[in-house]
């Protein structure tokens, strides 16, 4: 059985699609069949090469980190999801997008993004399916998986393991509580998610800042009580620079 994986070879260029044999999962691992993938702002930065001093590796870069799928094959010893629910082939799951070690001091503190033992997987090497812009995705024990309730459609699951996870952490760390006012800077994917989640968490007033009217109108649809177009409050020179430099640098 073969599957496809989308690869970035050069910034700003069309992606390549590579085919690989779908590996059997090792003990503790899971192979997913991807059913939905989200296009994150980070994917756009990666494709454009916005990260300075970070050339594309010679093997290329596997694309996609948001996404969801169904269990294609379970490795030896995998019988449940991270919460103990029985797991079977065909079950819909969401997986964590990063691969922290789960054991270092940073991981134990909950700061998985600061893990000192992070691993990077190489394009073209086992397990091949390392991005969600693909037919399959290889999950290791570093990545907890969670069974998805039937009432959630595939359409809403794509961004859960990036945009929604990031926003959940942000609002939790910020300590958002009922009755509070919340200011959200930027009405992109994360900002819109944060707007809806802050309202759901009981925020009384959610105020969203952006410089693009269409994004602010979207924020209202996502529950913003007030929106502010910052372009109306910055100096002419800054506004001019904002028009010249595309987001997010402005
Ligand atoms: Zn993302
Ligand atoms: Zn760690």
10-residue mean pLDDT series, the chain (250 residues): 96 97 98 95 91 85 95 98 97 94 93 90 96 98 95 89 92 94 96 97 97 97 97 70 56
Q: What integer pLDDT is reported at residue 51 of this predicted model? A: 77
Q: What is the pLDDT of residues 140-181, one digit of tens each?
A: 999 999 999 999 998 889 889 999 999 999 999 999 999 999
Q: Which ligand is in closest contact with the Cα of 142? A: 2
Task: List C-alpha distances in Å: 168 to 64, 130, 137, 196, 221.
Answer: 20, 24, 24, 11, 20
- Distance between CA atoms of residues 70 and 221, nearest Å: 31
Q: Which stretches of 14-82 are DSSP H helices? A: 41-48
Handedness of CA 208, 36, 147, 104 (dihedral sign): negative
Task: List C-alpha distances in Å: 76 to 27, 73, 146, 200, 226.
Answer: 4, 10, 18, 40, 52
- Distance between CA atoms of residues 93 and 137, nearest Å: 12
Q: Which ligand is in closest contact with the Cα of 188? A: 1
β-partners of residue 227 are: 208
Handedness of CA 64, 70, 73, 76 (dihedral sign): positive
Q: What integer pLDDT is reported at residue 246 of this predicted model? A: 56
- Distance between CA atoms of residues 51 and 62, nearest Å: 16
Interval between CA 203 and ligand 2 midpoint (Å): 33
Handedness of CA 123, 155, 211, 204 (dihedral sign): negative
Q: Which ligand is in closest contact with the Cα of 113? A: 2
- Distance between CA atoms of residues 203 and 191, nearest Å: 15
In 3D, which of 53, 50, 139 has the Cα closest to residue 97? 139
- Distance between CA atoms of residues 155 and 223, nearest Å: 20
Interval between CA 121 and ligand 2 midpoint (Å): 16
First to last CA, the chain: 46
Q: What integer pLDDT is reported at residue 18 of this predicted model? A: 98
Q: What DSSP character marks residue 175? A: T
Q: Which ligand is in closest contact with the Cα of 39? A: 1
Prediction pTM value: 0.86
β-partners of residue 2 are: 21
Q: What integer pLDDT is reported at residue 250 of this predicted model? A: 47
Interval between CA 9 and ligand 1 midpoint (Å): 20
């Amino acid at each position: 059985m073969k599957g496809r994986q989308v690869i970035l070879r050069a910034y700003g260029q069309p992606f390549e699609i590579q085919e690989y044999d779908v590996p059997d999962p090792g003990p503790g691992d899971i192979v997913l069949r991807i059913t939905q993938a989200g296009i994150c702002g980070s994917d756009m930065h990666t494709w454009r090469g916005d990260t300075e001093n970070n050339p594309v590796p010679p093997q290329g870069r596997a694309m996609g980190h948001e996404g969801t799928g169904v269990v294609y094959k379970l490795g030896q010893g995998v019988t449940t999801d991270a919460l103990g629910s029985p797991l079977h082939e065909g079950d819909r799951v969401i997986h964590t997008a990063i691969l922290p070690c789960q054991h270092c001091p940073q991981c134990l503190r909950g700061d998985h993004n600061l893990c000192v033992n992070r691993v990077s997987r190489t394009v073209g090497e086992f397990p091949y399916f390392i991005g969600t812009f693909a037919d399959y995705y290889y999950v290791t024990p570093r990545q907890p998986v969670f069974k998805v309730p039937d009432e959630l459609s595939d359409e809403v699951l794509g961004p859960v393991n990036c945009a929604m996870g990031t926003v959940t952490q942000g609002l939790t760390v910020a300590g958002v509580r009922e009755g509070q006012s919340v200011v959200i800077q930027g009405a992109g994917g994360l900002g819109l998610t944060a707007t809806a989640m802050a309202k759901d968490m009981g925020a009384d007033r959610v105020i969203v800042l952006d410089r693009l009217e269409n994004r602010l109108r979207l924020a209202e649809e996502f529950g913003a009580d007030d929106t502010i177009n910052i372009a109306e409050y910055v100096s002419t020179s800054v506004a001019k620079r904002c028009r010249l430099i595309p987001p997010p640098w402005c």
